[in-house]
Amino acid sequence: MTFHELKLIPPLLEAISKEGYTQPTPIQEKAIPHILEGKDIFGCAQTGTGKTAAFALPLLQLLTQNRATAQQGIKVLILAPTRELALQINDSFKAYGHNLNIRHTVVFGGVSQHAQTTILRKGVDVLIATPGRLLDLMQQGYIKLNAVEYFVLDEADRMLDMGFINDIKKIISKLPAKRQTVFFSATAPPEIRKFADTLLKSPVSVNIAPVATTAELIKQSVYFVSQENKRPLLRHVLKSESIEHALVFTRTKHGADKVVKELNKNGIKSEAIHGNKSQNARERALKGFKDRSIRVLVATDIASRGIDVDKLTHVINFEIPEQAETYVHRIGRTGRAGESGVALSFCNTDERAYLRNIHKLIKKNIDVVATHPFS
Ligand code: AMP
């Protein structure tokens, strides 16, 4: 599927291609048509899936198309649990909306409110906010929500975990009843579903990759190893195990290049794909990996998006990702469609805390490979 087939307007298509996106992610494919149709959405997806664009693109389009009839005031309200996420969403609106004349801003706590209220006074169409600061500014009369037509609650599960429920309820009570609501959560336990029911009208559910089940199909193991021994260990693993074909994840572009250099020097044909590589170079590497002329593809998380390789048997985490969800996404590239996959992870002392978070998320401990030459 292409972005064009999702019926996005040319200014958005142009912005998307400028961002370097070649095709929609699954959550975008599923959510964008429904949002454009005016439906409420219950979306279950984690960060890293492209969920921000899944709501930002259609909302920008709806705003542009409905502008003639709209009254003054904030039309889109997006609530996010943290300042970092709020800033990221604001950056996305900036990137995707750069051909459109739509005013957006972000407010969050922990900084002076002066700069924020100055922008608000001039008027904005899209407001991205964390709950505490939003309420504060509402109570001081800087923000009114009576013109809001579209409301997005992002990372709802984290919002509840962080104890924002009462703030959110207060905010919602000030929203017009007639509105379109998009609800995103990484997980969907009963309390989240119950909460969503109070906000959404006949919602369409969109889900991607149920985290725990993906992980269950995959044989996972971890090697404890120092950072300097990771490259020798990778060589060792690639030599001794029956690994025909592997996708290796590194945290940085530089790290990816180093791994590739070392593997090639040792006769293991590999290529890196990351953001510093041209589109051509990336496509070449991917093609080589798919037709098996390249045995090992080394990728960063962002670059790996859109890599869809049939029968990928092995994923190797050269570094443990900081976000547990990222781990699940990485290993989910193998073991697709019920086939078994293998995920190996290299963990140094500093990374053990990340590993603990992964154990919590996938609700099991990953087997440790106790005997290897670099333990
Ligand atoms: P998110 O899940 O919204 O945090 O997005 C994760 C990352 O994926 C962001 O860096 C986006 O810029 C990027 N991204 C979103 N949509 C696409 C796409 N269709 N193709 C490639 N990258 C994307």
**Cα(219)–Cα(344) distance, integer angstroms:** 8
Residue with the smallest CA separation from ligand 1 atom 5 is: 50
From residue 142, alpha-carbon distances to 42, 47, 62, 150, 187 in Å are: 30, 31, 25, 19, 34
Q: How far is the CA of 68 from the centre of ligand 1 (A)?
A: 30
Same-fold call for 4-207 versus 218-368: yes
Using the atom order of ligand 1, give the atom closest to the CA of residue 25. Answer: 19
Average pLDDT, the chain: 90
Q: How far is the CA of 174 from the centre of ligand 1 (A)?
A: 31
Q: What is the pLDDT of residues 201-227, one digit of tens each?
A: 999 999 876 555 556 678 999 999 999
pTM: 0.64
In the structure encoding, which two tokens stand for residue 18, read together? 């400028």
Q: Where are the domains of the chain?
A: 4-207, 218-368
The fold adopted by the segment(s) 4-207 is Rossmann fold (3.40.50)
Cβ of residue 255 lying under 6 Å from some atom of ligand 1? no
Q: What is the pLDDT of residues 98-151, one digit of tens each?
A: 999 999 999 999 899 999 999 999 999 999 999 999 999 999 999 999 999 999
Q: What is the pLDDT of residues 152-174, one digit of tens each?
A: 999 998 898 888 999 999 999 99
What is the CATH number that goes with domain 218-368? 3.40.50.300
Q: Which of 18, 19, 152 to mutate to test the pocket of ligand 1 (most atoms within 8 A of CB)?
A: 19
Cβ of residue 49 lying under 6 Å from some atom of ligand 1? yes
- Report whether 331 contacts 341 (CB < 8 A): yes
Q: How far is the CA of 92 from the centre of ligand 1 (A)?
A: 9
